[in-house]
Amino acid sequence: MKKFYIIANWKMSLNFKESIDLFNEIKQGLPEKNQAEIVICPSYIPLSEINKNNDADGKIKLGGQDVFWEETGAYTGEISCEMLKDAGCEYVIIGHSDRRKYFKETDETAHYKVKTALKSSLTPILCVGENFQERQENRKDYVIISQITKALSGIDFSGSEKIIVAYEPVWVIGSGRAIKPEEAEYMHQIIKQTLIDIFPIEIVEKCFKIIYGGSVNAEVVKDFLIRPNIWGVLVGSDSLNSKKFLDIIKEVNTIE
């Protein structure tokens, strides 16, 4: 049976109390057994407190929404991998389209961050995705191949690492309308093929999981996850409501 990933990205949407409350609601409503690894990425400030409350027998993992590539030093405002780990994180989102859009992050910065995360034993969740114009101009395959190649070429593997690649068409994020699951499956095949061009196939099979993000909700999640190359979802808006998020988890539990 496939083990999926359901990853919640809370972005900068909740204050401290709202974050703790939402986490507790999700924890209390979580089914006993789940077909997915559940990862929640709150903002930095409530992370430690959430970690203290996280007694759900390891059923919920925590992740950061970003990280800096240096390990320590004079980098005002930045957060290191060690700090994320101290706060209970096992995962970290890297190169999300918000970061690329508002903070001018590039495939090159994503590359450094993925490298540092792996070195610190954090699992990177590398986000890639084309914008609307690139899709209109039929450049989406090229854009994704280029993003993956630049971010991941030259990364060394011992074989025990895990990298999650999240395919998120930028124009769909937050729109309330996901792309068609078969379109996502096609893009996931492109991503897998690109990974096979960069790394030995055994490493790709063992270390990589490709997930979809962009307006995922409980109604559509199953249609995505029944495709052979879609291993999970990255959820923004519908992770901010405990019922909607738990409904996604429960829906995934019905996949045979």
* CA gap 44, 41 in Å, rounded: 9
Contacts with ligand PGA, 115-154, as mask; x by CB under 6 A: ----------------------------------------
Q: Which of 69, 198, 184, 83 is nearest to 146 (CA)?
A: 198
Number of residues that bind ligand PGA (CB under 6 A): 12
Instruction: Name residues contacting ligand PGA, limited to 214-253 (CB under 6 A).
Output: 214-216, 234-237
Q: Which of 162, 172, 4 is nearest to 92 (CA)?
A: 162
Question: Strand 123-128 to strand 60-64: parallel, antiparallel, or no bridges (unpaired)?
Answer: unpaired
Buried b (16+ CB within 10 A) or exposed e, 123-138: bbbbbbbbbeebbeee
* CA gap 211, 224 in Å, rounded: 9
- Secondary structure letter of residue 169 according to DSSP: -
Q: Is 173 in the site for ligand PGA (CB under 6 A)?
A: yes
Residue nearest to ligand PGA (CB): 236
The residues annotated as belonging to the active site are 96, 168
- Complex with ligand PGA: residue 127 or 204, whichever CB lies closer: 127
- Complex with ligand PGA: residue 35 or 97, whichever CB lies closer: 97
Least distance to ligand PGA, CB of residue 220, Å: 11
Least distance to ligand PGA, CB of residue 5, Å: 13
- State the residues that interact with ligand PGA by CB under 6 A: 9, 168, 173-174, 213-216, 234-237
